[in-house]
Amino acid sequence: MSRGNLNEAYQQVRRNKGVAGIDGMTVYQVLPYLKAHRDGFIAALRNGTYKPRPVKRVEIPKPDGSMRKLGIPTVLDRIVQQAVAQVLTPVLEKVFSDNSFGFRPNRSAQDAIKRVTRLYDQGYHYVIDLDLRAYFDTVNHDLLMKFMKQYVGDPWVLHLIRQFLTSGVMNGQLFERSDKGTPQGGPISPLLANVYLNELDKLLTKRGHQFVRYADDCNIYVKSKRAGYRVLNSVTGFLEKTLKVTVNQKKTKVGSPLRLNFLGFSLGVSSKGAYARPSQKAKRRVRRALKQLTKRNRGRKLDVIFKEIRQKMRGWLQYYSIGKMRYFIQQTDQWLRSRIRQYIWKMWKQPAARAKALMKLGMTHNQAWKFAETRKGYWRTAHSKTLTCTITNKRLERRGLINLSKTLQSIEAKRLNY
């Protein structure tokens, strides 16, 4: 409730931006509201009469085609949640496992993958890839509050957390009660989700198992397939009977880290040991995304397309840069340039426009007209010597097309220097 903590929470919520909740108030409108109603807002929090509004149901597509359900709290509720999270995080960090990496300060998915490669080098060549069905939607509230009481003794804080858990959901115009779950979308949800699965971490640690957990993605590492199935049966019993969450038997697997995917990565092995690499699924997915951005019939300006590609690929390269992927990126660079040349050729449309453009790029009148009237298909034309020598890689870069190989090298150099 300190002024400094609430101000910091407001600043963080504003930085995160995000959409408005059910009241329609944006992060830019909340400051004037707080200035006008600050005393009443603080008083309601202090005396326990503050009631969080229902979260707004939003669904976003997952990579596998299904939908992920998010619950977006109002901006005011996000500020309160953020203020609570800021105070609780240092307390809970002391009890969280060193094998847990998701939604924690100074920890990342890359750190989790580095741990995985070390485990493989230590002889843990089998993994139990646990998949929990709709984990965030099925967390038991009573159990969660029981676990919270192990670390938080303040009844006021516990009451506030319970209120956020039971505030309900507005699905369009329909109100739905929330008897279970911690809706993804609020600042406090990742922290509560980690508190709940910290019980699994404690069990695995007590039994001496090697594991890496990132939120609800948990991989347990063993030295034989037989041990893998034995541990899976035991852990499934604990998760379903004690924690009351469901293990998805169809997606949960025991196998080799060289074949199974974790956080978008799989492992490879060389004479120097194990190394991370983007999974085949991740590679296919990014190619699909680039293909959508460079569709011939999009009708967008090149500057817009180049900006979209930069936005997509800088984040992707940053995330996967700890993996071995230079050859894949070189191939993708070549393929992407061909996609752009194809797009430009389609954009020029008529032979006259094509001939004029080619002459500007250095071709003679006769050469330009001869090529402009080609009947070859777009993809074949994009690979022709004429287009590769006129719409050169350097010209594309100057226009704004990201050079994926150079960007990756720059990211890797910064990481080494850091």
CA distances from 287 to 86, 292, 297, 346, 385 (A): 39, 9, 18, 21, 24
**Same-domain status, 284 and 175:** no
**Same-domain status, 189 and 234:** yes
pLDDT tens-digit profile, the chain (418 residues): 999 999 999 999 999 998 999 999 999 999 999 999 999 999 999 998 999 999 999 888 877 677 788 899 999 999 999 999 999 999 999 999 999 999 999 999 999 999 999 999 999 999 999 999 999 999 999 999 999 999 999 999 999 999 999 999 998 889 989 899 987 889 999 999 999 999 999 999 999 999 999 999 999 999 999 999 999 999 999 999 999 999 999 999 999 999 999 999 999 999 999 999 999 999 999 999 999 999 998 889 999 999 999 999 999 999 999 999 999 999 999 999 999 999 999 999 999 999 999 999 999 999 999 999 999 999 999 999 999 999 999 999 999 999 999 999 999 998 887 6
Please report how the helices 404-417 and 326-348 are oriented relative to each other, as an axis angle in degrees rounded to 10: 140
Nearest CA-CA partner of 283 in 334, 340, 329, 337? 329
**Same-domain status, 251 and 102:** yes
**Residue 291: inside a domain:** yes
pTM: 0.90
**Same-domain status, 287 and 223:** no
Strands of 67-72's sheet in order across: 67-72, 55-61, 169-171, 174-176
**Same-domain status, 137 and 56:** yes
> Quick one: pLDDT at residue 59?
86
**Same-domain status, 200 and 332:** no
**Same-domain status, 143 and 39:** yes
Nearest CA-CA partner of 345 in 361, 332, 330? 361
> Among 217, 240, 255, where does a domain finish?
255
> Quick one: pLDDT at residue 418?
64
**Same-domain status, 320 and 393:** yes
**Residue 123: inside a domain:** yes
**Residue 9: inside a domain:** yes
Q: Helix or strand or coil: residue 247?
A: strand
> Among 240, 255, 270, where does a domain finish?
255
| Helix and strand totals (H; E) in the chain | 18, 10
Look at the chain and report how many structural domains it folds into: 2
**Residue 185: inside a domain:** yes
> Quick one: pLDDT at residue 66?
74
How far apart CA 351 and CA 397 sit, in angstroms, is: 26
**Same-domain status, 86 and 193:** yes
> Quick one: pLDDT at residue 68?
82
**Residue 326: inside a domain:** yes
State the residue range of the domain holding 292.
279-417
Q: Are 341 and 405 in contact (CB under 8 A)?
A: no
**Residue 135: inside a domain:** yes
**Same-domain status, 76 and 14:** yes
